[in-house]
Amino acid sequence: MRLLLRVLAPLLGLLLAVVGLAIVVETVTLWVAPGSSPLVVPWPVWQTAAEGLTWQSGAVRGAAVAVGVVGLLVLVLGLVARRHDVYLADPVPEVTVTTSPRSLARTVGHEVRSHADVVSASVVASAKKITVKASTLDPAEAVREDVRARVDAMLVRLPLARRPRVSVSVTTTKGVK
């Protein structure tokens, strides 16, 4: 979502800049040569068409609904794309400490991969949940309990403001031991 916003924001800014530039060009043209036709925007035609419209016209209501829907979509997109920080315990009331979910996942991943029986692991973390998927050559259930204990012990050491739920799944891979 953040990537979409990073593309959408400059495009909307560029669109507004072009509209503003067109308004400036048309205004200067009207001041310099009042009798000339418009350069870029056919505003006399638009003015004639708009004179017949009222607030009860279907076109006006449709345009209002379309602008409202687009505005709501942009608002929802902006709210969904916000940063999802993981809050840590504040050292003093005036200081707020956060970390990214990626950093938390990397920390948990290093701890899981340091287990001797884990061949590979992937970790996804958020402020609410940490999901660990590991592979081993040994029986999965025994390694799963060890990995779960390591993750729980590491989360106790971290100064997290709220402890996330932990989900650990371990699969046995086929390979030469």
Asked if residue 22 is part of any domain, the answer here is: yes
Q: Which residues of the chain have pLDDT under 50?
A: none
Indicate the DSSP class of residue 10: H
Is residue 61 within 8 A of residue 53, CB to CB? The reply is no
Average pLDDT value over all residues in the chain: 89
pLDDT at residue 176 in the model: 55
pLDDT at residue 96 in the model: 87
Asked if residue 86 is part of any domain, the answer here is: no
- What Å distances lie between residue 177 and 118, 120, 172, CA to CA? 12, 14, 12
pLDDT at residue 35 in the model: 82
Asked if residue 92 is part of any domain, the answer here is: no
Number of domains in the chain: 2
pLDDT at residue 126 in the model: 92
pLDDT at residue 36 in the model: 82
We report the CATH number of the domain holding residue 110 as 3.30.300.30
Range of the domain at 63: 2-80
pLDDT at residue 7 in the model: 87
